[in-house]
Amino acid sequence: MNTSAKLISAAILTAALLQGCSTPQINKPTDVLFREGEQAYQSGHYEDAIAQWKKVKESYQSPELTTKAELGIADSYFLNKDYIESAAAYEDFRKLHPSHPQAAFALYRQGLSYYNQINRIDTDQTPVKNAVTIFNSYLKQYPAGENLAEVQDKIRDCRDKQLQYEIYVGRFYLKTDIYKAAIGRFEEALKAFPDQARRDEVLYYLGRAYLENKEKAKGREFFGRLAKEFPASPFIADANKAMDSFF
């Protein structure tokens, strides 16, 4: 056998060996992929469920199963506590299926995805703002929605956190002797959160900020409002001490 023939034979043999060692690609039916995703989901293996349901989406074979897979992916992200991903997935689902029977649930879960990202008061407040926006959207779109009571409760909690943040920033300005900035922050907080329980705290620090800024009349005014509107407030004692130190 000449050199050329030997090379051809070797190439054919190598190809045959490689073909024999390779695993043939099996394309599963869409309904099988979907059921495998369901089984993984029910077992709490959410990443596996996501992987299978993504294959359902990529198959483009069943619009009905694709829609179910899209919501299942969002739910899997949520239950796996991947809240950034779940918020995006629920939003995508709502955009693609605005009139779907589960659109209200998706909006609710999107709000919860932002709510569950909320951290300390002294950190980025974007999740709080996003949660309030989505929950308010739920109230407008679904005023008799199944999750109405919890949405209202979450809004109240978010607004309380927002007010806490405003107090935190205002107190920072107060401690660093930036009194005008502190006054502006507390004044805006009174306007933005007229029904929140921490208004007595805002009135106290606003009075303090005015006193520190040598505006004693304004300081007295807000301490007077504190005593009148919140006669049982624990901040009244602090206001009296502040008055004694400045007058």
Position 245 confidence tier, pLDDT thresholds 50, 70, 90: confident
**Which are the contacts of 49, defined by CB distance < 8 A and separation ≥ 6?**
37, 38, 40, 41, 72, 73, 76
Query: Residues 9-46: pLDDT tens digits?
Result: 444 444 444 444 443 334 788 889 999 999 999 999 99
8-state DSSP, 101: T
pLDDT value at residue 17: 45
The b-or-e profile of 15-45 (16+ CB within 10 A means b, else e) is eeeeeeeeeeeeeeebeebbebbbebbeeeb
Residues 134-157, mean pLDDT to the nearest whole number = 97
Q: Is the pLDDT of residue 211 over 70?
A: yes
Closest by alpha carbon to 114, among 94, 130, 125, 135? 130
pLDDT value at residue 163: 97
Rg for the chain, CA atoms, rounded: 30
The first and second tokens of residue 4, run together, are: 């050329």
pLDDT value at residue 7: 42
Query: Residues 148-184: pLDDT tens digits?
Result: 999 999 999 999 999 999 999 999 999 999 999 999 9
Q: Is the pLDDT of residue 129 over 70?
A: yes
Query: Residues 76-114: pLDDT tens digits?
Result: 999 999 999 999 999 999 999 999 999 999 999 999 999
d(CA 220, CA 204): 10
pTM: 0.84
pLDDT value at residue 247: 72
Q: Is the pLDDT of residue 136 over 90?
A: yes
Q: What share of the chain is helix, strand, coil (3-state, %, to 5)?
A: 75, 0, 25
Q: Is the pLDDT of residue 237 over 50?
A: yes
Task: Share the mean pLDDT of the chain.
Answer: 90
Each as own residue / partner, the long-range contacts of residues 39-43 (CB below 8 Å, 24 or more positions apart, any chain) are 41/72, 41/75, 41/76
pLDDT value at residue 166: 97
